[in-house]
Amino acid sequence: QAEDGNIEYKLKLVNPSQYRFEHLVTQMKWRLQEGRGEAVYQIGVEDNGLLVGLSEEEMRASLKTLRRMAEKVGADITVLREREVDYDSDVPRKITEVLVRKVPDNQQFLDLRVAVLGNVDSGKSTLLGVLTQGELDNGRGRARLNLFRHLHEIQSGRTSSISFEILGFNSKGEVVNYSDSRTAEEICESSSKMITFIDLAGHHKYLKTTIFGLTSYCPDFAMLVVSANTGIAGTTREHLGLAMALKVPFFIVISKVDLCSKATVERTVKQLERILKQPGCNKLPLLVNSDDDAVTAAQQFAQSPNITPIFTLSSVSGENLDLLKVFLNILPPLTNSKEQEELMQQLTEFQVDEIYTVPEVGTVVGGTLSSGICREGENLVVGPTDDGKFLRLKVCSIQRNRSACRVLRAGQAATLALGPFDRSLLRKGMVMVSPEMNPTICSVFEAEIVLLFHATTFRKGFQVTVHVGNVRQTAVVEKIHGKDKLRTGEKAVVRFRFIKHPEYLKIGAKLLFREGVTKGIGHVTDLQAITTKENGLEESRGPGQLSF
């Protein structure tokens, strides 16, 4: 049994002494902290993982003790599954697996972000509509109407922008969604775990929007939706490749199983398994057919990213939808509490992903806090502008998942109201940082890249669109170190220069670039920084340059 992690093996918990009880409670607190508010207890299992099992009475007493422990720390418990063990005894023996959930004192709910990928018309928006509205689809796209943001999306039935949908689970593991005409605030208040779905576009011409959604919103997981009747087609492979390149762990949902025969569904599953087992992917597919499988899948998936759970479901008949809900309910967050605390101790840095003007509120920016803590009323600087300056501003109020929030912590997404700040000065890809950070901005940077696909050779002077986090801009290849040109599959360190304006980059950031059919991935290795001063721009000059 691992010391860290949020799974605890217990043989039995029958009438512990007071001292032992205190010790068990402390241990539960530690497991909950490791899992950021969730822990799994397996009762009837020895510390070395041997499945012993307990008789009916002992199990009842153990669960009673576990409830007492949970009450003491203010948590709720739900039985995930029971199973009998074949053991040399006349009495049937059982093992029980229990989920303990407690919302950490410093936040309203546990938060997970899931990006939704898949080919056009594979049923992504419909599946989200069914999950978040709580009613099944009529087979003609009724469930997704509430998700669309633009009129042309409703007319064509295709998502072209990035929309966010929320699904809550209360502490007993029941779904909290928009059914019973709840508002978004009520969902936030009554759930202890929130899953934010980032609905991305499937159509090929909206690929840049999809890449932006994956790089800038930093999802914890990705859900790849494949339609059972068409199989792997269109942009499915491309989205799979994007998730792998950005190292986002993904699981697969095969939708529309009500439209086709069992044989067709099996063929699609086999096709997927074949692709996942290829040397490039190296994943272990795990087909989920029962609640038991869903619990196993969620735990295994979080521990080793090589496992890829596959669900087969229908948004019209509702077949196997519950399995997906069970899986999402148990999914633990990826980073442990230690990593998040380290991020929170750094200086504030907020990525600007979207900009709106709201009547009577003024300018509002949406995005993710990548490090530090941001409070209402805090003074920050935003930039870089076209000439590389940073401008001062004040955060007036913060909203998270459509309900007000005082403090924002590292890794959380939110919208910040900036009051009367001029919207035209802002653009996507800017950062808001604390004034003492002295941010480095650059126009020229070097990156180690792998060319995934290119029609001819890739050489100096080539123009590509570069995505790094929330930054996207056209850049020119200035130099390829040690080579004249690159071909598909080759690695090199390349120097890029942004065409329009300097950007804020970090060394080690993941990078994706594209141009027509050209695609490549890599990471930033070196920056040529431009130093900024409060009163304006001062470029760092090399020796022998005249200053006028």
pLDDT, residue 366, reads 92
| Confidence tier at 541 by pLDDT (50, 70, 90) | very low
pLDDT at 449 over 60: yes
pLDDT, residue 106, reads 67
pLDDT tens, residue by residue, 341-356: 788 889 999 999 889 8
| Confidence tier at 535 by pLDDT (50, 70, 90) | very low
Can you spell out the DSSP letters for 197-242? EEE---SGGGHHHHHHHHHHS--SEEEEEEETTT-S-TTHHHHHHH
pLDDT, residue 2, reads 67
Query: Which pair of tokens denotes residue 268?
Result: 């699609």
Contact between 527 and 507 under an 8 Å Cβ cutoff? The reply is yes
pLDDT, residue 379, reads 93
Q: CA 475 to CA 520: how far, in whole Å? A: 13
Q: Which residues of 38-52 are buried (b: 16+ CB within 10 A; e: fewer)?
A: bbbbbbbbeeeeeee
pLDDT tens, residue by residue, 243-272: 888 888 999 999 999 988 999 999 999 999
Query: Which pair of tokens denotes residue 483?
Result: 């080579």
Q: What's the average model confidence in pLDDT over 60-67?
A: 93
pLDDT at 534 over 80: no
pLDDT tens, residue by residue, 394-448: 999 999 877 788 888 888 889 999 988 999 999 988 999 998 887 888 999 999 9
Locate the DSSP E strands across 121-191.
163-169, 175-176
List of residues 6+ apart from 173 with CB closer than 8 A:
78, 99, 101, 326, 329
pLDDT tens, residue by residue, 489-522: 889 999 999 998 999 998 999 999 988 778 888 9
Q: CA 460 to CA 144: how far, in whole Å? A: 46
Q: What percent of the chain has pLDDT over 90?
A: 36
pLDDT tens, residue by residue, 148-192: 777 777 777 777 778 888 899 988 888 888 877 678 888 888 888
pLDDT, residue 307, reads 92
Tokens 């502490």 found at: 171
pLDDT tens, residue by residue, 110-134: 788 999 998 888 888 899 989 988 8
Phi and psi at 331, nearest 5°, equal -50, 120
pLDDT, residue 138, reads 83
**pTM reported for the whole predicted model:** 0.79
| First-to-final CA distance of the chain | 68
Q: What's the average model confidence in pLDDT over 54-58?
A: 90
pLDDT, residue 539, reads 37
pLDDT at 313 over 90: yes
Q: Is the dihedral of CA 380, 383, 388, 392 positive or negative?
A: negative
Other beta carbons within 10 angstroms of residue 203's beta carbon come to 17
pLDDT tens, residue by residue, 229-246: 888 887 888 888 888 888
SS3 labels along 304-364: CCCEEEEEECCCCCCCCHHHHHHHHHHCCCCCCHHHHHHHHCCCCEEEEEEEEEECCCEEE
pLDDT, residue 548, reads 34
List of residues 6+ apart from 11 with CB closer than 8 A:
43, 44, 45, 46, 47, 52, 54
pLDDT, residue 337, reads 66
pLDDT, residue 25, reads 93
Q: What's the average model confidence in pLDDT over 471-483?
A: 92
Alpha-carbon Rg of the chain, whole angstroms?
A: 25
Q: CA 28 to CA 171: how far, in whole Å? A: 16
pLDDT at 469 over 80: yes
| Confidence tier at 544 by pLDDT (50, 70, 90) | very low
| Confidence tier at 524 by pLDDT (50, 70, 90) | very high
Q: What is the set of domains in the chain, with CATH numbers?
A: 7-102 (3.30.110), 110-334 (3.40.50.300), 338-433 (2.40.30.10), 441-529 (2.40.30.10)
Least confident of 95-109, 256-270, 460-474: 95-109
- DSSP 3-state assignment of 535? coil
Q: What's the average model confidence in pLDDT over 464-484?
A: 91
Contact between 51 and 43 under an 8 Å Cβ cutoff? The reply is no
Mean pLDDT of the chain: 86
Q: What's the average model confidence in pLDDT over 281-298?
A: 91
pLDDT, residue 542, reads 36
Tokens 């998730």 found at: 243
pLDDT, residue 532, reads 57
Contact between 486 and 434 under an 8 Å Cβ cutoff? The reply is no
